[in-house]
Amino acid sequence: MRKVYSKIESIAGNVITVTAEDVRYGHLAMVTSSHGKSLAEVIRLNGSQVSLQVFAGGRGVSTGDEVVFLGSPMQVSFSDNLLGRIFDGSGNPRDKGPGLEENLIEIRGPSVNPAMRIIPRNMIRTGIPMIDVFNTLVESQKLPIFSVSGEPYNELLARVAMQAEVDMIILGGMGLKYDDYLSFREVLEEGGAMSRTIFFVHTASDPVVECLLVPDVALAVAERFALNGKKVLVLLTDMTNFSDSLKEIAITMEQVPSNRGYPGDLYSQLASRYEKAVDFEGAGSITILGVTTMPGDDVTHPVPDNTGYITEGQYYLRNGRIEPFGSLSRLKQLVNSDTREDHRAIMDGMVTLYANYKESLEKKSMGFRMSDWDQKLLRYGEMFESSMMDLSVNIPLEQALDRGWEILAECFEPAETGLRTELINRFWPKGRTAAANEESA
């Protein structure tokens, strides 16, 4: 019989304090109040004073409510039954399915021994040319999408979830607008991808503590699936909300803030989640694609800044498109040499020309005279944006490379592209030069 404590001594924000014996750090308790039951986690021990973080929040908790310690840290059920299901941050079902309690695993497990890691080697195809061609996603990579509120980053994630060549998807939603949650569900249900997906969703109106649990729960489950040989893609949106929850709780706990109110351990907190991305030799892998919204489109804000130091590159999503400048997949060099011989050349060549287009555009806006070359670039830039960068384009890598050649052939003479002659001989669309195009037009 577990001992029931019925005297809560202080309640501040989401943190309550009770006097209790034989309690262990990080273990859970059940708080029963007139509004229902909630889990709580031990976050500080000071003699017999135990501070607990109540997952459902401190609102409505009374000093006379009951607290029972459960004697174990936070756990989540793990089995194939999770597939197709939707849970909240504490692991309770959010759909109408039954609660799962078998085969519990601990969250926030130890990190992977660096000596057991391997150099990443497999590409993950997404069908999005701006990713596949220009900044390839690599198995076991961790990449954020840097964006601002209002951009279609959740739509992008949903598309990746639908199209990515992986065994399963785990979606961790933090501070998600209810509408966004519903549209995620809708897209995946309609696309028939629900059966290989697990949702852990915290919506904007849910208690803030549960927001912190979402990545841990999602990644703990992902880790087990990966150890069982599954290629798992974890989508986390939005890590800025996660960081803001950290901030909120740190301030309630009266911690000294370091930068714009965020706790000093923000880097370590983010890193311990992102570093869960791994390729287990002889088993599966975890790849993490996150969303980080940049408040005020400021990349030096503590959240994107710390994220950038942790992740292996980033995608910038601006004006509904993945920007080729600034976006970087640091691991792409490891995989894009074995796709098709023209992959790297197209990747570099097209971006260089696009940079030239941007310069011409600037010159044009400043009222300088446009040369023939500028005109060509302007035409190229528009085509590149509409048939490559547009998020609705969904074609496999090879087709995207072919399309790249077509765009080049449409706009330029072979020598103007700066591509190697040998590649041009092989891949340049036959009988196509810009001059010939004009004639036929």
Of 420, 433, 418, 421, residue with least CA distance to 352: 418
Which is closer to other proteins, CB of 197 or CB of 292?
A: 292
Nearest approach, Cβ of 45 to other proteins (angstroms)? 4
Structure token pair of residue 205: 């109106």
Which is closer to other proteins, CB of 182 or CB of 355?
A: 355
Which is closer to other proteins, CB of 148 or CB of 253?
A: 253
Which is closer to other proteins, CB of 84 or CB of 308?
A: 308
Helix 239-252 × helix 208-227 angle, to 10°: 130
- Give CA separation, 298 vs 79, 171, 190, 294, in Å: 41, 26, 36, 6
Which is closer to other proteins, CB of 346 or CB of 411?
A: 346
Nearest approach, Cβ of 159 to other proteins (angstroms)? 25
Of 62, 67, 19, residue with least CA distance to 41: 67
Nearest approach, Cβ of 116 to other proteins (angstroms)? 5
In angstroms, the CA 54 to CA 49 distance is 16
Nearest approach, Cβ of 335 to other proteins (angstroms)? 14
- Give CA separation, 379 vs 345, 361, 373, 382, 399, in Å: 21, 11, 10, 5, 21
Q: Count the Cβ atoms, other than its own, within 10 Å of residue 384.
A: 22
Which is closer to other proteins, CB of 64 or CB of 71?
A: 71
Tokens 């954020």 map to which residue?
A: 144
Q: What letter does residue 134 receive in the DSSP assignment?
A: I
Q: What letter does residue 111 receive in the DSSP assignment?
A: P
Nearest approach, Cβ of 278 to other proteins (angstroms)? 8
Nearest approach, Cβ of 302 to other proteins (angstroms)? 7
In angstroms, the CA 298 to CA 305 distance is 9
Nearest approach, Cβ of 25 to other proteins (angstroms)? 4
Q: What letter does residue 126 receive in the DSSP assignment?
A: -
Q: What letter does residue 418 receive in the DSSP assignment?
A: T
Which is closer to other proteins, CB of 276 or CB of 343?
A: 276
Structure token pair of residue 219: 């990644």
Of 329, 345, 413, 336, residue with least CA distance to 373: 413
One-character DSSP codes across 117-169? ------EE--S-HIIIIIS-EETT-EEEEEE-TTS-HHHHHHHHHHH--SSEE
Q: Measure the CA dihedral 314/319/320/325, to 10°.
A: -30
Pairing mode of beta strands 49-54, 75-77: unpaired
Structure token pair of residue 59: 């609102």
Which is closer to other proteins, CB of 67 or CB of 194?
A: 67
Nearest approach, Cβ of 286 to other proteins (angstroms)? 12
Nearest approach, Cβ of 400 to other proteins (angstroms)? 23
Nearest approach, Cβ of 86 to other proteins (angstroms)? 28
Which is closer to other proteins, CB of 178 or CB of 368?
A: 368
Structure token pair of residue 46: 């000071």
Of 209, 201, 150, 154, residue with least CA distance to 174: 201
Which is closer to other proteins, CB of 283 or CB of 383?
A: 283
Residues lying near other proteins in the complex (CB under 8 A)? 21-27, 44-48, 73, 108-120, 227, 255-259, 263-265, 267-268, 271-272, 275-276, 280, 300-302, 305-306, 308-310, 312-313, 325-326, 328, 330-331
One-character DSSP codes across 164-200? --SSEEEEEEEEE-HHHHHHHHHHHHHTT-GGGEEEE
